[in-house]
Every structure is written in structure tokens, then in C-alpha cells.
């Protein structure tokens, strides 16, 4: 299974509010050659991590199928971000769009980009909660933890709730 995290907390001139940008990003993922979106979580709103005065984020997770290798897939994600107007200036900055390659099957890559699975995925409510919606039985390929175990360990101060 391949999972992509989607997030945004700045409006886009092209797409509008962050939730609309995230929805447009799902459509853009489907335009990647030989790629199909198999499942999509609902959208969640979450406070910035680390805590800051940035606007809250809209986040979700999709499961895709693709014949792209992880490096080519990551490049395709970066190309979509750039097309949407993302500028990579500083780490944890507010952004128009963020696409993260969270998991690529059972691969475990730690020395080069992309790092798979995403090294902080189990620590982020805005990833664990949407992922639990679309793949409740998924097990972390490195830690062996189930999503409900990861959810139980999340810091209580990470504010994350479904968009109403």
C-alpha cells in the first residue's frame, strides 16, 4: 500500500481555501501517469505542529496505486506542489500545499530521500487519524505497531478533528 499525506494552511489564488486546494490535489494525483487513487480519508483540521501562530491546517490521507518507484513518485509530488504555488523556504513554514510520501508498501529507506516510511508519521495526529479511516488494519512496517496503538500514544495537546 502506498499512502500520501495531503495538507494545506494557506489559501491559493487558483483554488481558494485550503480544503479546496487539498481536494484539487487529489485530482492532480490522479493525473500522474499510471496512478490511481484507491481510497481517501475525510478532511481533518489540525493545529500546526510544532505549535505556532500559523493558521490551522487541513489534512487528509489517500491510498494510491502506481507503477512509479518511490523517487519518481516523490518528484511527481514535488511537481504538483510547485504547480500549485508551493515555495520551499523554511521547514515547518505555512504552505499552500504539502504532499508527503508516507508509506510505500513495506519499504524501509532511511539513508536517502525519500525516507520511507515517513519518519514522523506515527507522531502526528493529522496523519494517524486519517490513515486509520482508510486503512484501519495497517501495521507500521518498522515498529510493528497498529494504528490504534499509535493513536493511543499521540500527545494529548495535538489538536486534530474532522472538518464539519
100 is catalytic: yes
14 is catalytic: no
Catalytic choice (31, 98, 124, 161): 98
| 35 closest CA partner among 60, 2, 84 | 2
86 is catalytic: yes
Cell of 83: 504547480
Map grid coordinates 504539502 to a residue: 98
Catalytic choice (14, 53, 79, 95): 95
CB 130 within 8 A of CB 61: yes
What residues have CB less than 8 Å from 83, skipping those under 6 apart? 28
CB 55 within 8 A of CB 30: no
Question: From CA 33, how far away is CA 97, in angstroms rounded?
Answer: 20
Catalytic choice (79, 86, 120, 123): 86
Catalytic choice (88, 100, 105, 148): 100
Question: From CA 158, how far away is CA 113, in angstroms rounded?
Answer: 27
> Looking at the DSSP assignment, which residues form a beta bridge with residue 37?
64
Cell of 117: 516510511
Q: Mind telling me the catalytic residues?
A: 86, 95, 98, 100
Amino acid at each position: 500500500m502506498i499512502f500520501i499525506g495531503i495538507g494545506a494552511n494557506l489559501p491559493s489564488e487558483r483554488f481558494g481555501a485550503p480544503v479546496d486546494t487539498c481536494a484539487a490535489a487529489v485530482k492532480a494525483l490522479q493525473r500522474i501517469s499510471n496512478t490511481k487513487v484507491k481510497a481517501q480519508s475525510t478532511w481533518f483540521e489540525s493545529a500546526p505542529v510544532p505549535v505556532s501562530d500559523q493558521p490551522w491546517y487541513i489534512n487528509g490521507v489517500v491510498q494510491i496505486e502506481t507503477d512509479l518507484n518511490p523517487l519518481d513518485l516523490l518528484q511527481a509530488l514535488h511537481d504538483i506542489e510547485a504547480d500549485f504555488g508551493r515555495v520551499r523556504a523554511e521547514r515547518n513554514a505555512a504552505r499552500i500545499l504539502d504532499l508527503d510520501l508516507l508509506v510505500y508498501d513495506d519499504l524501509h529507506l532511511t539513508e536517502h530521500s525519500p525516507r520511507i516510511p515517513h519518519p514522523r508519521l506515527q507522531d502526528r495526529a493529522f496523519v494517524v487519524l486519517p490513515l486509520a479511516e482508510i486503512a484501519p488494519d495497517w501495521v507500521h512496517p518498522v515498529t510493528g505497531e497498529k494504528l490504534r496503538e499509535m493513536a493511543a500514544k499521540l500527545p494529548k495537546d495535538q489538536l486534530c478533528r474532522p472538518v464539519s
